[in-house]
Amino acid sequence: MRLHHLLIGTCALAAGTISVVGVVNAAGHQHTSPAPALAVQAEVAPALAPQPGQTITVHVPRTAFVRVDAQGTVTAAATNTGAAPQPGDDVYLFHPDGTITHAPSFDLGAVTWLGDFRQPGVYLQQN
C-alpha cells in the first residue's frame, strides 16, 4: 500500500511520467520539490500523456497516519496537512507487526494530540 503525504500538488507532465514540482498543504504553505516526504512519481499511459510542460492539479484527502501498540494505544502520529489529526481526516493505523489498516471509524477527536504537526509527514511521539 502506498500512502502519499501531499495534499495538493502541481505536477509537470512529460514523457509518460508525472513529477511533483510544488506542493501546497492545507494550511496554504507551499513547498517545492524535492521534498522527500512529499515527492511522488507515477507512470502515465502514453496515449494519455499531455504535451511536455503542461501542468495538472492533484488533490489528496486530509490523511492521518497513526502508529499504535499491540493494545491499540496511539504511540505516534503524522499528517499530510500541517495540523494535528482531526475528525474528518482519512485514517491509517500502523501496527507493530507491520500491517497497515484503513480505519475510517477511528475516533481522532478522542485523542489529545501532543506536539507541533506543522511539518507534514513527520511522526510525533504521543506517549
Residue 50: per-residue pLDDT? 61
Residue 48: per-residue pLDDT? 60
C-alpha cell at 125: 511521539
C-alpha cell at 80: 499530510
**What is the value of pTM for the model shown?**
0.59
3 state DSSP class of 116:
coil
Count of Cβ atoms closer than 10 Å to residue 36 Cβ: 8
Residue 60: per-residue pLDDT? 79
Residue 51: per-residue pLDDT? 66
Q: What are the residue ranges in the chain where pLDDT is below 50?
A: 1-42, 44
Contacts of 2 (CB under 8 A, 6+ apart): none
Q: Where are the domains of the chain?
A: 8-59, 63-125
